[in-house]
Amino acid sequence: MNARRLLLVRTVKVLALLGLGFAVYPFVAGLLPGDGVGQTDGGRPFGHWARVIDLAGLPPGELLRVDGWPGGPVAIYRRSDHELAGLARVENELYDPQSQESRQPDALRTRTRAHLETVFVFLPTDTDRGCQVRSLPANKQPRPGIAWYGGFTEPCTGSLYDTAGRLYRGPRTARQQNLAVPHYRVLDPQRIELLGPPPGP
């Protein structure tokens, strides 16, 4: 009888410890550092959220908005050759041209901040107050005296971004950075797969 009781007590203790482990894990995982927007495990974010986006119908100069990503809406912009060439020509006017202080996967810490040169995938809100950005074409000069090859602007502060989401020097708040880039991968030249953390409560 004593042996059976001892076995039962040990079993209850093991089950209690397992339950405690499952309860604590989400809090510990949330404190771990990540390399961009959402954490990764072998190049893919923790969790199983994914969505394939068809880019075949997206012409240069157009913006596609994708809702439902766990971190908020995602925008996809197809750059023209003119806009792509301008990325190198505006770097002296940018706050963080090498994207050292901004959020994106480490592999995208490049001039284009993209896997496909002409396709820029980003979160269309500024990093301070969440103000929505809108596209501004190359023929709409936003301020006199700056090199402008197209990009984005947000109305809260009047901040400007190039077509890689890099912030121009000028009006900005202390916490504004380059626009954030989510995790995604290229399936083929006309399809990407958005990846993200699992939707939270």
pLDDT tens-place string over residues 108-165: 999 999 999 999 999 999 998 889 999 999 999 998 989 999 999 998 888 999 999 9
Q: CA-to-CA distance for 148 and 70, rounded, in angstroms?
A: 33
- 167 and 75 assigned to the same domain: yes
Cβ neighbours of residue 29 closer than 8 Å, sequence gap 6 or more: 39, 46
Residue 70: per-residue pLDDT: 84
Q: What is this structure's pTM?
A: 0.75
- Specify if 59 maps to a domain: yes
- Specify if 201 maps to a domain: no
DSSP 3-state assignment of 78?
strand
- 18 and 106 assigned to the same domain: no
* 34 backbone dihedrals φ, ψ, rounded to 5°: -125, 170
- 19 and 62 assigned to the same domain: no
- The count of domains in the chain is 2
H or E segment at 87?
helix 81-89
- The residue segments making up the domain with residue 6 are 1-32
